[in-house]
Amino acid sequence: MSIPQRPLLILAALALAAASFGLPGSAAAEVEKYAIDAAGGHASINFRIRHLNFGWVYGRFNTFSGTFTYDTEAAKNSSIELLIQTASVDSNQAERDKHLRNKDFLNVDKFPTATFKSTAYKEGLGSSELAGDLTLNGITKPISFQVEQLGNGPDPWGKYRRAFLGTAAIPLKEFGISDFGPTARNVELTFVIEGVRQ
Amino acid sequence: MRWRNTEDSYGVVSVALHWLMGFAVVGLFGLGVYMRSLTYADAWYLPGPYIHKSAGVLLFIVLAARLAWRFVSPPPRVPLTLTPLARRSAALVHVLFYVLLFAITLSGYLISTADGRPIEVFGWFAIPATVTSIPHQADLAGSVHLILAYCVMALAAVHALAALKHQFVDRDRTLLRMLGRGGLP
């Protein structure tokens, strides 16, 4: 009884496979995958922090990588993952950067990378909100970015790009990092995320 | 006392350079260790490194001048009472001092100029940056600077203990000679 049914089973399996992979316009095709264009210098991980009661110090992490997805049908399914090399901190002052890399601050020998993984995305008309887990100095905390969609479309060289601007303020102490006095308890992050669709 | 060294005694220039640099090296080491312990908003957080760097540049200049002076006016011969081993180790320690102090001052220069900024020397003049593209330059030069600074202090301890031993145990007037007094046995 079992022997004659085997070809039927195989046919059924083939038909299912064809339905799930071969047909155009299936739901999975709406999720666009992007590689962040760090190599081209069109994405950046920036920060700023107050210098006492005076100016702002702007800096960035020069070396990072990441990918994001964007679901054009259901934006809430979009996600992002970032991997930042903390030793690449650059505030345009070599001695300060050297100090920032030591154990009082970024502790880069022990924790050479920081990561951000999104957990939820809520798209609004003006600005959107991206929640996720930031791991910095070995400590993981949930943080939230205000996100602005900057633009999307074909570029002049045959690729399709999409870009966002995300801002967040994080309290340094919560990540085990010494702060810089009452005006500089928080560091403001500004991420420019431009990706090339894969 | 003469300016120049003679066959068996040190002149004013060598004596002054020796003690000036001795105190400068120990002082710079102390300031260096102290300023590394400071945190943001400490009173010495800014002036500490400023003085350390300025004095370090001056030390480099004096070091080069001292090396040049050895050729202009060679140091006196060593005491005849020294064993061959003592002669060789004294010579080695002196060479190591020069090597270490040049390496320490140059690595310090590479830390502070890693981003292309010059080093201001007490606001009198500035030393421009030259090498800026060694990977992780500030960190690498910083490690070299720190380790060699401890090495030179260890060497200074050996040097000082040896001088005290020669002065008070062997009684060969080594320390007095470095104060510009007395000839050689």
- Structurally, at CATH architecture level, domain B12-178 sits in Up-down Bundle (1.20)
DSSP letter, residue B133: -
Topology (CATH) of A30-197: Lipocalin (2.40.128)
Residue B7 pLDDT: 87
Could you tell me where the beta strands, DSSP code E, fall in A51-176?
56-61, 64-71, 79-85, 89-90, 113-122, 128-136, 139-154, 160-171
Residue A2 pLDDT: 46
Residues 22-81 of A with CB under 8 A from B: none
pLDDT tens for each residue of A41-85: 999 999 999 999 999 999 999 999 999 999 999 999 999 999 999
Note whether B108 contacts A: Cβ–Cβ < 8 A: no
Angle (CA) A144-A106-A172 rounded to 5° is 45
DSSP lists the bridge partners of residue A44 as: A192
Q: Check if the beta carbon of residue A142 is closer than 8 Å to that of residue A177.
A: no
Note whether A180 contacts B: Cβ–Cβ < 8 A: yes
Residue A98 has its nearest CB partner, among B40, B41, B139, at B139
Query: Which are the contacts of A35, defined by CB distance < 8 A and separation ≥ 6?
Result: A67, A195, A196, A198
Q: For an interface test with B, which of A52, A53, A57, A98 has the most B Cβ atoms less than 10 Å from its Cβ?
A: A98
Collect all residues of chain A within an 8 Å Cβ-Cβ radius of residue B137.
Answer: 94
Residue A92 has its nearest CB partner, among B113, B115, B138, at B115
pLDDT tens for each residue of A89-140: 999 999 999 999 999 899 999 999 999 999 999 999 888 999 999 999 999 9
Collect all residues of chain B within an 8 Å Cβ-Cβ radius of residue A104.
Answer: 39
Provide block-wise average pLDDT over 10 residues at a time, chain B (185 residues). Answer: 87 95 98 92 92 98 97 90 91 96 98 95 97 94 98 97 92 86 65
Q: So where are chain B's domains? A: 12-178
